[in-house]
Amino acid sequence: MKNKYRAWMKEYRDFAIQGEPDFKSIKSFMRLYGHLDLEQFTGLIDENGKEIFEGDILIDEFNNTDGEPNHGYYEVVYDEKKACWAVDVSFKNDRGYLQPIYTFFGENLEVVGNIHQNKDLLCQ
């Protein structure tokens, strides 16, 4: 699998480059357009066939212990301690409790946004 990235341009509030990077081009692009946040493709696909990138927000639909339907929103991050892709499963604004994303396999994970444009989803 080739490495894929996307680049968020803070100044323009939009994504720029997406795909396999040419790091020489990215350096010159950064000089022209300011700071970029590079986000790597995790190698995973959501239930709709959409690629999951670092910084994406996933929704997980599940049933509570009483059988009632519920959902959770989770940010995709890289866990350096465990050297794996993870989701931040912290409750609302108490960020930092990471769970490896592979523990969600078999779940109905769907990309519903990203931390740049939809950060409000993480506060629900």
Q: What percent of the chain has pLDDT over 70?
A: 75
Residues of the domain holding 30: 5-123
- Tell me the average pLDDT across 10-30: 67
State the maximum Cα–Cα separation within the chain, in Å, rounded to a whole number: 55
Q: How far apart are CA 86 and CA 95, in angstroms?
A: 13
Q: How far apart are CA 115 and CA 98, in angstroms?
A: 16
Is pLDDT above 70 for 53?
yes
How does the average pLDDT of the chain come out, rounded? Answer: 81
Q: Whole-prediction pTM value? A: 0.79
Compute CA distances 31 → 11, 21, 28, 107, 123, whole Å: 13, 16, 5, 41, 34
Who has greater pLDDT, 61 or 98?
Answer: 98
